[in-house]
Amino acid sequence: MNTFGKGIALGTLQCVLVLSLAGKLLYDRATCPRVWVKTVRRDPELPIRGRYLALELMPDAGDPYFTKLDHQQVVYFVPEHLTRVEQMNRGPVAAEIWAEVTLPKKGPPRPIRLGIKQAGQVAPLEVQ
């Protein structure tokens, strides 16, 4: 096999690895339980790692997934411009942020989307 063939084989292997990870995450999202959990916002930005919301999960003590979610920290990446979630958390009255997370069998919870609780219902936010 010449150098070109080895390069194509290596590139194909790398693509298969990335696609297998994406497939596993999509499978987990489709088959594992999803729950909305109240969060507390932590450090919102580190210049080295980009823009994100570091959220600590704060489930109610009676929730069935309490032991798996209690005080777990998840990271939700946000766009470069100021988002609605960040605008709502400025000022004297901060909104209560909720996160919908996937609960895989192994590993930490994975955030899917954010929401704001209004009138007893969690309204998902469009983070663009």
* Domain segments of the chain as ranges: 1-31, 33-124
Band of residue 87 on the pLDDT scale cut at 50, 70, 90: low
Mean pLDDT, to the nearest integer, of 13-26? 95
For the chain, percent of residues with pLDDT exceeding 90: 41
Retrieve residue 123's tokens.
Answer: 């309204």
Band of residue 4 on the pLDDT scale cut at 50, 70, 90: very high
Retrieve residue 88's tokens.
Answer: 């709502």
pTM of the model: 0.75
CA–CA separation, 81 and 1 (whole Å): 48
Cβ–Cβ < 8 Å for 53, 119: no
Retrieve residue 41's tokens.
Answer: 């916002």
CATH annotation of 33-124? 2.40.50
DSSP string, the chain: --HHHHHHHHHHHHHHHHHHHHHHHHHHHHHS-EEEEEEEE---EETTTEEEEEEEE---TTSTTHHHHTT-EEEEE--SSPPHHHHHTSSSS---EEEEEE--SSS--EEEEEEEEETTEEEE----
Band of residue 33 on the pLDDT scale cut at 50, 70, 90: very high
CA–CA separation, 13 and 64 (whole Å): 40
